[in-house]
Amino acid sequence: MLRTVTGIAVLCLMAACGDKVPQSEAAKKIGDIPKQTVDKASASVNDALRQGTERLKSEDEKKQ
């Protein structure tokens, strides 16, 4: 019984330490892929909106 309680206490202490193994460069690159994808998509949307606005302005100028 004491052995079980000691084992559980050791596992709890190990889990609570919070010291993580440093990430490798490959893991960091893989972790950055979703952020890069979102950034690229938002940049594309911003470019498309800007082009649409410019197109509408040029059409309005032609009509006047």
Mean pLDDT by 10 residues, the chain (64 residues): 81 66 79 90 95 91 80
Alpha carbon distances (Å) from 41 to 18, 35, 46, 60: 35, 10, 9, 29
Q: What is the pLDDT of residue 7?
A: 82
Which two tokens mark 52? 């649409």
Q: What is the pLDDT of residue 21?
A: 63
CA torsion 21→24→26→31, rounded to 10°?
A: 50
Q: What is the pLDDT of residue 13?
A: 67
Q: What pTM value is reported for the model?
A: 0.51
